């Protein structure tokens, strides 16, 4: 189904439109892509689209971005991947880099600091909300609920304590599940020395552009379980190890990634901006999304086989629960990073909005940001 059937101009316009209005993360992106490709234009049938969703959920990296790329491949071939992917990612990248320049400036306006402190205070609640929303489907797929719990605990503890090594925990959980499947007589594992481990050692030992590229690569290639798992993959490196950002600035960056259109993974661009200015932001985004483009351009023809692969299923059944645990676990250091009592009140209010009032993440963060502006205008201290 890779023959060109839709003009590249049309792909650019339609994928760009989704990139501009796609607030709310993966659920919104999937709904907009289904509406465009299946319901309105009928470029794809429902089965093909649902198979694409399933295949992308089995891959590491930002699933909704990969779905946008795969849909573009189906309707316009490899050139469609490049055009559609750029149009889908571009608007959000421009917006988040512009906002990063304001929020990360040496002396931003007081209201900007207040908005960031307010929205940042809500991020821990958003992390818990994201993790819990992913848990039921993952639990239902699990071949062993005991192992699911172990993997989840491992990811949670790693995110709360040894952030930069979380990627090794995710890989280890996936590898362990492959081994258990073999012991169960269902799946022979094929385990090789991973170049990722070599990259981990290099990235952890050096700084500068190589360090930024490694952090972005982790975000783009190893973020099992949805966009929010990027937080534990970035926090320790960005704040404590390389000191590109303060805790407050990192929370600002996470909030910006949630309230801007396009993929949530674009948070990495704000981290890149803090590390090396505009060029760093563009580099971080390019590295983070490169694996998704490579997966689709090189492997789209084989995605159906990936979806049916017991090895891919086993890897996700191990790494997926660990990623969910990591998303929940990162709420601990995020909450501990709050420096003012009024921020704890905002965190409590955000928890109420998300879980009791069932407001959306975007609405909750915008309200928290507004509360922050009011708080500092009334004389509250900034973190």
Interval 304-347: pLDDT, tens: 787 778 888 888 888 889 888 988 988 898 898 888 999 999 99
Interval 246-280: pLDDT, tens: 988 998 898 888 888 888 889 999 999 999 999 99
What is the pTM assigned to this prediction? 0.80
Complete DSSP assignment for 230-293: HHHHHHIIIIIIS--S-HHHHHHHHHHHHHSSS-GGGHHHHHHHHHHHHHHHHHHHHHHHHHHH
Q: Is 182 exposed, middle or buried (0-12, 13-18, 19+ CB in 10 A)?
A: middle
d(CA 327, CA 128): 7
In the structure encoding, which two tokens stand for residue 254, read together? Answer: 């996470």
Domain positions in the chain are 93-377
Interval 115-142: pLDDT, tens: 989 998 998 998 898 888 888 888 988 8
């Amino acid at each position: 189904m890779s023959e060109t059937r839709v003009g590249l101009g049309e792909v650019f316009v339609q994928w760009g439109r989704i990139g501009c209005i796609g607030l709310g993360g993966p659920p919104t992106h999937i709904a907009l892509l289904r509406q465009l490709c299946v319901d309105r234009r009928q470029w794809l049938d429902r089965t093909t689209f649902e198979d694409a969703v399933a295949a992308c959920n089995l891959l590491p990296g930002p699933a909704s971005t990969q779905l946008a790329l795969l849909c573009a491949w189906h309707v316009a071939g490899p050139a469609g991947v490049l055009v559609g992917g750029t149009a889908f990612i571009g608007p959000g990248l421009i917006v988040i880099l512009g906002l990063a320049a304001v929020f990360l400036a040496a002396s931003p306006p007081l209201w900007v600091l207040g908005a960031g402190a307010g929205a940042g205070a809500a991020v821990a609640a958003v992390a818990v909300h994201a993790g819990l929303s992913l848990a039921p489907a993952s639990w239902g797929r699990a071949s062993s609920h005991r192992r699911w719990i172990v993997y989840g605990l491992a990811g949670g503890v790693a995110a709360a304590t040894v952030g930069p090594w979380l990627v090794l925990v995710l890989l280890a959980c996936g590898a362990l599940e492959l081994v258990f499947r073999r012991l169960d007589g269902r799946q022979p594992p094929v385990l090789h020395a991973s170049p990722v481990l070599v990259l981990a050692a290099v990235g952890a030992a050096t700084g500068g552009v190589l360090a930024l590229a490694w952090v972005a690569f982790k975000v783009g290639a190893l973020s099992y379980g949805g966009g929010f798992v990027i937080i534990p993959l970035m926090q320790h490196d960005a704040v404590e190890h390389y000191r590109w950002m303060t805790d407050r600035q990192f929370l600002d960056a996470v909030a910006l990634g949630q309230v801007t259109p396009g993929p949530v993974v674009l948070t990495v661009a704000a981290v890149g901006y803090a590390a090396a200015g505009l060029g760093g932001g563009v580099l971080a985004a390019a590295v983070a999304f490169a694996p998704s483009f490579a997966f689709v351009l090189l492997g789209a023809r084989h995605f159906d086989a990936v979806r049916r692969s017991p090895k891919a299923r086993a890897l996700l059944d191990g790494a997926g629960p660990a990623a969910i645990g990591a998303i929940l676990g990162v709420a601990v250091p995020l909450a501990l990073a709050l420096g003012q009592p009024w921020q704890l009140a905002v965190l409590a209010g955000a928890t109420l909005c998300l879980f009791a009032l069932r407001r959306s993440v975007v609405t909750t963060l915008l309200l928290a940001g507004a509360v922050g502006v009011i708080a500092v205008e009334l004389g509250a201290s900034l973190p």
